[in-house]
Amino acid sequence: MSDNVLWIITDDQPRATLERMPRTWSRLVQRGVRFDRGYAAMPWCGPARASMLTSRYPHHHGCSTNQTHAPFVQRGLDQDTVATRLRAGTDYDTGYFGKYMNGLSRDPAYVAPGWRRWVTTVGSGGRVNVDGENRELGSQRAADRFALDRLTTYLERQADSGPWFAVWSTSTPHDPYTPSRRHRDDFDGVRWDPPALNERDMSDKPSWLRDLPPQDRARMREVHEGKLEELQDLDDQVARVLDVLRETGQHERTWIFFVSDNGYLLGEHRLFRKEQPYEESAGVPYVVRGPGAAPAVSDALVSQVDLMPTTLEIAGLDPDAGRELDGRSLLAPLTTGDWSGWRRRLLVENTNLGWAMLREGSHVFIDHHERGECELYDLATDPHQLDSLQGADVAGWAGPLGRLRSAKGRALRALEI
């Protein structure tokens, strides 16, 4: 029997918070492959989810704003996703549970092609779409709990049937922060003082950033606390899902991918939230556990666009059949441990704000191409991106990045090598 695949997608989770989830850390992270250099295709909820489902970078799928659902459907992108390929080419069952894309509230009866089971949250008011029928549950927390309950029921029912692919997309730890009674005091007073918080010398930053006022330090600490406490609830929920897989005998034949749609800035470089090209925003937690993948910590450059081709190859499909994908399958290096043929450089972009980022070696080159400004950091000596390398020859970085942000499919992947 073919292996099952589960994607767990969190919402606005900074990469560094993963280790504050003890059960997820011990049962998933330490038993899988953790990527220290995992990145969003675009660090913003809607465009990132479009990239995951289609293995297209934002310059390829064209959904540049956070109200992604309408253009995604209008452009026919929902007709060729990881789910439609699996349903057309394999005997895989498919199910989607939780948050889909921003803008779904304007199309509340929508059911995306390729998903046999569809339980999605609609907006943030507590409504859910169950296979095209809406139900009012009263709160986002209730809607998230409903989606999780339906996921676990789905997993239990799949125990004795064919292979399945499921997405569990939680709204945790997105604001507003409403941790359960059990965890709402777990991180009271937690310290928040990263080196880049309210960076003092902004002279090396793009001109539009230099006059930003400092963020409210107490507010940033409060948000950090809220995220950590909500993540304790998610930690319990991940453990519940893992328990179901073990109790139904499916854990040894199920691949689990744990990622976030984007990271989150909490005052670093005087910035708040996401969308920006710095590590706290563009970097995401990225973990894979599956049959034959030895536990490891990898420095391979991986992206959200790699989820779809990896899943298709697990299912026995050619990822490029019908349309060449922008991402790469992780399957071979995950099972062999040999990353020698993997990409050397990686693109991250924001087609809405007009910047693109090239990650290569220890360096990060950021081209604010619509503003005519750029930044270059060596993370080996400056991990918090406090000092852009002034006077550096950026021509050698701008050329490869410019070619990447206009390429797609095999041509894009060739440029990564």
Q: Which residues of 268-288 are buried (b: 16+ CB within 10 A; e: fewer)?
A: bbbbbbbbbbbbbbbbbbbbb
Which pLDDT does position 216 carry in this prediction?
Answer: 98
Mark out the alpha helices in 104-159 (DSSP H runs).
140-157
List the one residue out of 87, 235, 246, 236 whose CA is nearest residue 155: 246
With 0-12 / 13-18 / 19 or more C-beta atoms within 10 angstroms meaning exposed / middle / buried, residue 179 is buried
The answer to whether the predicted template modeling score (pTM) of the entire model surpasses 0.95 is: yes
Are 87 and 94 contacting, i.e. CB atoms less than 8 angstroms apart? Answer: yes
Domain boundary assignment for the chain:
4-343
Would the CA dihedral through 115, 64, 128, 8 be positive or negative?
Answer: positive
Which pLDDT does position 124 carry in this prediction?
Answer: 82
List the one residue out of 135, 139, 141, 78 whose CA is nearest residue 111: 78
Which pLDDT does position 263 carry in this prediction?
Answer: 98
Q: Which residues of the chain have pLDDT under 70?
A: 1
Which pLDDT does position 1 carry in this prediction?
Answer: 66
* Distance in angstroms (rounded) separating the CA atoms of residues 215 and 224: 13
Residues 6+ apart with CB under 8 A from 261: 9, 10, 11, 12, 40, 44, 45, 48, 49, 52, 284, 304
User: Domain 4-343 class?
Assistant: alpha beta
Residues 6+ apart with CB under 8 A from 336: none
Which pLDDT does position 343 carry in this prediction?
Answer: 98
Terminal CA-CA length for the chain: 35
Give the CA angle between residues 45, 50, 56 to the nearest 5°.
Answer: 125
Q: Residue 75's CB: how many other CB atoms inside 10 A?
A: 13
* Distance in angstroms (rounded) separating the CA atoms of residues 272 and 280: 10
Instruction: Give 251-272 as a 3 state SS string.
Output: HHHEEEEEEECCCCEECECCCE
* Distance in angstroms (rounded) separating the CA atoms of residues 95 and 350: 29
What does residue 256 show for φ and ψ, rounded to 5 degrees?
-120, 125
Are 279 and 385 contacting, i.e. CB atoms less than 8 angstroms apart? Answer: yes
* Distance in angstroms (rounded) separating the CA atoms of residues 51 and 326: 9
Task: Return the amino acid letter for 239.
Answer: A
Which pLDDT does position 125 carry in this prediction?
Answer: 85
List the one residue out of 83, 81, 131 whose CA is nearest residue 111: 131
Q: Residue 22's CB: how many other CB atoms inside 10 A?
A: 11
